[in-house]
Structure 1
Amino acid sequence: MRLTPPYGVGECSWVTPDWPAAGDLLAHRYRLVTRLESGGMADIWRARDELLERPVALKLPTGGTATSAEALHLAWKEARMAARPAHPGIAVVHDYNGAVRPDGSVAPFVVMELLTGETLAARVERAPLTWREAARVGGAVAGALAAAHASGVVHRDIKPGNVMLTPAGVKILDFGISAITGEPDDDETGATFGTPAYVAPERLDGKPAEPTTDVYGLGVLLFEMVTGQPPYPVDTWEELEAARLRGPSRLPHEVPAEFRALVADCLADEPGLRPTAEEVGDRLAPLADEPPSPRHAARRRIAVPAGLAAVLLAGVAALILGTRDGGPGSERAAPPAVAPPAVVPPPSAASPSPSPAPERPSARATTAPGRTTAAPAGTTGAPGRATAATTRPAPARLDFDDAVTRFRSAVEDGRATGEIRSDVATDLLNVARTLDGPDAAGVEARLTDLATKVEARAGEGSVERERAAVLRSRLDDLDRAAGL
């Protein structure tokens, strides 16, 4: 028998009373093989597409609503949402169709690519990931979400159970409660809210679907990967409400400050304060990189002092000039004697810069960028050869933008570690965002405002003493960079 629109259900086979069961043929095409996973709303089956002769995954709704018109609509919508973005990190949807149950009702199903591997939930249940592994997985999820958001799709159910770790990479699954960006959230029953521990606050307020909702879920995902549980480890909506009053759990201090600050930004209660999925991916990329091997690190420690490099270059130049200027049998200019190079560690913030090369007498003035130094009286030197500068360049002025970045990082780190209350951190960051440059109008007033806020919040205890000291130091840097 053939079913009619509106849902585009194709020709379906009659099925046995214990439907669905292994061996059943759906839509004269998909042979059920084995049930892979059972959930509250749907089962995932391994099936065989007998038309194209390939294995597939088939998602079939379960429960009392499996045959309702709403179930038909949700399955059709899921297929369209998942098929809309084209990205290797999103599971491919092959088909949407329906089958007839023994009672004559229609059961919709979605056909997807069959993936091998395990869900992120299963992986975390065995043991938490390292922060670097979490950064890699999170970066892959962020890339897939960025593609979905660019296509106008909001997933709305990002959690470990919907992320698959496969030999081909990380894949996002289950677009069952996804929506078009800006689509009104008219669900008054909470059936499409998802899992309490992963739901963004704005979803509970019925706000339209926005990409920042997925970024919140990504923040929960990053948190759970390194700790083994979400920041609000709850099972019910009532437990979630009580947990939000107490505040989220904290990431351990062993996790880098950059990772902690990013998670805190993703979990901001105000959607407008969260980064985009693309920005999350950019911030995770350096955290996911492997450190250099010991051999490469040792190679980096071998450096030639700048003064010695200049002498070596001068010797090479003398050899070339002597060869060209002298005819056959003429004497070549002898290169200056050079001591064997020494292996020295590179300069660091904690150690002084290498001493400049020994000065050589010269009849010419030596120059450094922006300054001229006269040669000592009564000295002579080889004509046409300049020596190294006799005066070390003055230290560069602290860059204002760098100083602003350092101040903001100190605030974000404090929020991530709980040393700055979240709303106070947001207030300080909002003022810091108005610092357009050292010569901008009102910069002195804004810096004074920041200093006043830091002192006031430290006095009331919403900024801990050690963090307040760091902020004062960063504000001093800002004052110097602005020339105040």
Structure 2
Amino acid sequence: MSRLEPGDVLARRYLLLDPLASGGMSVIWRAFDQSLHRMIAVKVLTASLHTDSGQRVSVRSEARAAARFIHPDSIEIYDYGETVTTNGGVAAYVVMPLLDGTPLAERIEKGPLPWSEAAAIALRLARVLMAGHARGLVHRDVTAENVLLTAGGPKLLDFGIASWAGDPDDDRGTPPYVAPERLLGAPTHPAVDVYALGVLLHAMLTGRTPYPETTWEEIEAASRTSPPPRVPGVPNAIATLCQRCLADEPERRPTAAQIVSALTSALGTVTLGRHVRRGLTVAGSAVVVLSALLWFQQAEPPERQQQARVAEPAPSPTVTARLIESSPSASVTVRQAADGFRTVLEARTPCGATDADVVLDLRQVLESAVAVRHGPEESRTENLRTKLTDRMREGRLTPACLSELQARLDDIDAAIQPD
């Protein structure tokens, strides 16, 4: 297609202002919606659709399916359309909200990210992919250019032009992120997203993609016989996961759900380590204070000690519970995380098909989970996780809904013992 320029208008409505980012498949423009008078982002596919009517039908179908896929970490789709370019070609475009953020590609250009930050970003993206794959959608272009770092966390762009799993192979994708089997014409499969996520994780950890090839010709000419490169200087679990995502054979790669589990475990281990170190420090300080108190108590005359015991009754269990409930570090953050669980549970997407009695039951178990308990804090969400698994097995909870609710439970667990 011919190159679009600032000032061009798509569908007599969307005024293109300036390009924000470009990748192997598309260009993102900052634009103005002249009908609704709001700033938007417009992603225009770089390939023309005018030579293949079947492809046009496929793209429309995929865009409609993706528009129905709504996820907190994926960009909502406002509109989809096709426009005739100046040279007679047909270009597809997707209209999205204009978010304030930085492309992940720009962040990587500044150097490698700390492994925990890279793992946290990959975890959020893996959750989006897991939810999309559960609906039969494959993104096909998970790249640093398609991830926007916002105040609310990373957002995955371009689910507006996704594909159904099993669709014939096509030329969509950005070369450094393209899985090897796509060069052989293999049908679209969720494993191609996993490979791309592995490339992205490697790039975040090292500042560069795992292989030097950047064009289709270079990738097709490359002969790779060695195992995927291993990232140095990061925990073994992260380095191994990255290598598994980059496996040449699709069946050897983990699923998006397995990536979520692995990254959650790796990040949870680090958090637990910080809590243990923090606990040891606090315990050490408590020993010093207790020793000092005992020394002063022993130094006091016996009659003073007796008076103190009479004058200072022990706090009642009710008072203690109120102190715990009012402590910001003990319950406020947990309550906020619980609010996030309720918001997802009651949202139209992805949990809109959930029965009202299931919603009520889960809310009641949630309230019990976040209440002040006398048992170990680590068990707060155990019953709720079991409930979710049971409802999923009964067919009363969709995979996408389950994924999001489990993510909110992770937030609750993390909030129980904040740093």
Q: TM-score range by the shorter chain?
A: 0.5 to 0.7
CA contact (8 A) 1:33 1:48 kept: yes
The CA deviation at 1:279 is 1.5
CA displacement 1:251-284 (0-9 Å, x = unmatched)? 11x2111112212222223322222111111111
Deviations 1:12-48 (A, max 9, x none): xxxxxx9854444433432333332345553322112
2:140 alignment partner AA: R
Task: Tell me whether 1:85 sits opposite 2:85 in the alignment.
Answer: no
Contact 1:131 1:255 in 2 (8 A): yes
Matched, 1:153 2:128: no
Percent identity, aligned pairs only, is 46
Q: How does 1:242-281 map to 2 (within 5 A)?
A: 242-252=222-232, 254-281=233-260
Q: Does 1:230 align with 2:212?
A: no
Are the structure 2 counterparts of residues 210 and 105 from structure 1 closer, same or farther at C-alpha, using a change threshold of 3 Å? closer
Q: Using a 3 Å threshold, how does the CA distance of structure 1 residues 41 and 198 change in structure 2: closer, same or farther?
A: closer
Q: One-letter code of the match for 2:229?
A: S
Residue 139 of structure 1 and its aligned partner are, at CA, apart by 0.2
Indicate conservation of the 8 Å contact 1:79/1:95, yes or no: no
Taking structure 1 as reference, are residues 242 and 104 closer, same or farther at Cα in structure 2, changes over 3 Å only?
closer
Give aligned pairs, total.
Answer: 280
1:105 is displaced (CA, Å) by: 5.9
2:230/2:243 contact within 8 Å kept: no
The one-letter amino acid paired with 1:113 is P
Structure with more helix by fraction:
2
Q: Which residue among 100, 120, 129 is the counterpart of 1:136?
A: 120
> Are 1:49 and 2:33 counterparts?
yes
Deviates more, 1:221-230 or 1:242-251: 242-251
Tell which structure's C-alpha radius of gyration is larger.
1
Change (3 A) 1:128 1:77: farther
Going from structure 1 to structure 2, the CA distance change for 1:151 and 1:129 (only over 3 Å counts) comes to same
**More displaced 10-residue stretch of structure 1: 43-52 or 113-122:** 43-52
Tell me the TM-score normalised to structure 2 length. 0.59
Residue aligning to 1:170: 154
Cα RMSD over matched residues?
3.0
Question: Is the alpha carbon distance of 1:297 and 1:87 closer, same or farther for their aligned partners in structure 2, counting shifts above 3 Å?
Answer: farther
Residue identity in the other structure for 2:253 = R
Q: 1:143-169 CA deviation, whole Å, 9 max, x = no partner? A: 000011011101122222222211122
Partner SS, residue 207 of structure 1: coil
Separation in structure 1 between the aligned mates of residue 283 and residue 103 of structure 2, nearest angstrom = 40
Deviations 1:120-178 (A, max 9, x none): 22111111011111110010010000011011101122222222211122111224773
**Alignment-mate amino acid for residue 212 of structure 1:** A
Letter in 2 for 1:201: P
Verify the 8 A CA contact 1:82 1:90 in the aligned structure 2.
no
Give the alignment of 1:456-471 within 5 angstroms.
Answer: none
State whether structure 2 residue 168 is matched by structure 1 residue 184: yes
Shift of 1:67: 5.2
- Quickly say closer, same or farther: Cα 1:81–1:244, change in 2 above 3 A: farther
Distance 1:104 1:196 in 2: 27
**1:50-90 residue CA offsets vs partner (Å, 9 max, x unmatched):** 33332111123447x37555675565355335324221111
Runs of 5+ unmatched residues, structure 2: 288-419
Structure 1 residues 37-436: aligned runs within 5 Å = 37-39=21-23, 41-62=25-46, 65=48, 68-69=51-52, 72-73=56-57, 76-77=60-61, 79-102=63-86, 106-175=90-159, 178-185=162-169, 187=170, 191-192=171-172, 194-237=173-216, 239-240=218-219, 241-252=221-232, 254-289=233-268, 290=271, 291-292=273-274, 295-299=278-282
Shift in alpha-carbon separation, 1:212–1:61, aligned structure 2, 3 A: closer
Q: Which amino acid aligns with 2:78?
A: H
- What TM-score, normalized by structure 1, do the two folds share? 0.52
* Unaligned segments of structure 1, at least 5 residues: 1-17, 305-484
Counterpart amino acid of residue 163 in structure 1: V
**How far apart are the structure 2 equivalents of 1:137 and 1:148?**
17
Task: Name the CA distance, whole Å, in 2 between partners of 1:222 and 1:106.
Answer: 35
For each residue in 1:341-370, what CA deviation from the matched residue of structure 2 results, as whole angstroms up to 9, or x when unmatched? xxxxxxxxxxxxxxxxxxxxxxxxxxxxxx
Instruction: Give the partner amino acid of 2:262.
Output: R
Name the CA shift for 1:73/1:112 in 2 (closer, same or farther; >3 Å): farther
Q: What amino acid is the match of 1:26?
A: L
Separation in 1 of the partners of 2:83 and 2:121? 36
Structure 2 residue aligned with 1:418:
none
